[in-house]
Amino acid sequence: MAAEGRTQVTIIGSGPAGLLLGQLLHIAGIDAVILERRSREHVLGRIRAGVLEQVTADLLGEAAVGERMRRDGLVHAGFGMLVQGRRHRIDLHGLTGGSTVLIYGQTELTRDLMDARHAAGLPTVYEAEGVSVHGFEDRRPYVTWRHDGREHRLDCDFIAGCDGFHGVCRASVPRSAIREYERVYPFGWLGLLAETPPVSEELLYISGERGFALCSMRSHDRSRYYLQVPLTDQLSQWSDEAFWQELRRRLDETGREQLVTGPSVEKSIAPLRSFVAEPLRFGRLFLVGDAGHIVPPTGAKGLNLAATDVKYVTDGLIEFYRERSEAGLDEYSVRCLRRVWRAERFSWWLTSLLHRFPDEGPMGAKLQQAELDYLLNSEAGLRTIAENYVGLPLQFGETTPRRDTRASP
């Protein structure tokens, strides 16, 4: 169908959340149009997370886009922690009864979803300017935008806001209908992507006197590294050589020997934030993924939370169109937020454990070291880290009775 007139679901945003939702709805026989304010090339150029929980990998399989992920993704049964110069391994597989995570770059995942949508001939409008959402509070939602010098309008039954933290969907909700919780951390992550083999076969989290670092990868020959830096730092201060020198200082002797350096493919500084909006449903508008919540990347939860949001809203929409029941949609916010807050807690906790906080002083640093010493030398502590890292199953603790969580602006 054309991207104008009427559809069942309008999806705002063509990141992984929006594309995955569109693919799952297509498989279920539900029409959806995706609107994206950026170009396709810009969306594919964004460098993001690459750690997938089993729940997310399974969902991509349901969406019939998992073939390349299964072939090229790296299965990790554990990860390393280098704390005050001493290495520890978190045995995810052994501590959780067999769970693992999959390393597969978000760029590749996005490409797979884009290719599937294109192959199916499904409508996506890129470079949609001035997107605006209307009527979601009175069951007559529609979306307007400009494209190629023309004004467009699309009427629909529902709007899915998959347009990120700075998107139009959450901003369109009256302030009286929404409550926002936020914590901004006093540091950022300086990230560098390089066409070099990773320093370790598994992810390596580093906590030491000079601050946090993370040695990650996208494949066997593409590495992603991060350094904790002050929020006042500018990218211009960090040449490639300065980055590699600082990473060497935070690594141990083994890491320094194994580190292979090279020119950066991409380099950026990202602030860290914890953010949750409540509720996540407003009449016929749903906030999905980063539009409704942000986690610091330490726990690798952002993309995985977005995927479970997509799962819950997809189930609700299928129930609505097949059974004319809104019970699943009414439950959307409660189900998502219970999972969101657990992931927020873990991401905040892991961030607090591994980073240097400038205002906490020597006492805070010693208490942090003591807690890490306990956790890394206790089976219960290790299991707590492992269970949260691999992700809780979708059914975990879901005993909340259904209730209507729609907000009326």
Would you please indicate which residues are annotated as catalytic (active-site) residues? 76, 205, 297, 301, 389
**257 backbone dihedrals φ, ψ, rounded to 5°:** -70, -35
Cβ neighbours of residue 81 closer than 8 Å, sequence gap 6 or more: 87, 88, 89, 90, 204, 205, 206, 207, 354, 376
Contact status, residue 212 vs residue 356, Cβ threshold 8 Å: yes
| Cross-strand partners of 363 | none
Cα(98)–Cα(103) distance, integer angstroms: 17
Distances (CA, A) of 371 to 228, 305, 325, 353, 367: 20, 27, 48, 8, 6
Cα angle vertex 126, ends 125, 132, to 5°? Answer: 70
Compute how many other C-beta atoms are within 10 angstroms of the C-beta atom of residue 245.
11
Cα(122)–Cα(262) distance, integer angstroms: 40
Cα(378)–Cα(382) distance, integer angstroms: 6
**31 backbone dihedrals φ, ψ, rounded to 5°:** -75, 140
Helix-helix angle 361-376:379-390, to 10 degrees: 90
The helix/strand/coil state of 10 is strand
Please name which of 7, 311, 43, 274 lies closest in space to residue 143, comparing C-alpha atoms: 7
Contact status, residue 405 vs residue 332, Cβ threshold 8 Å: yes
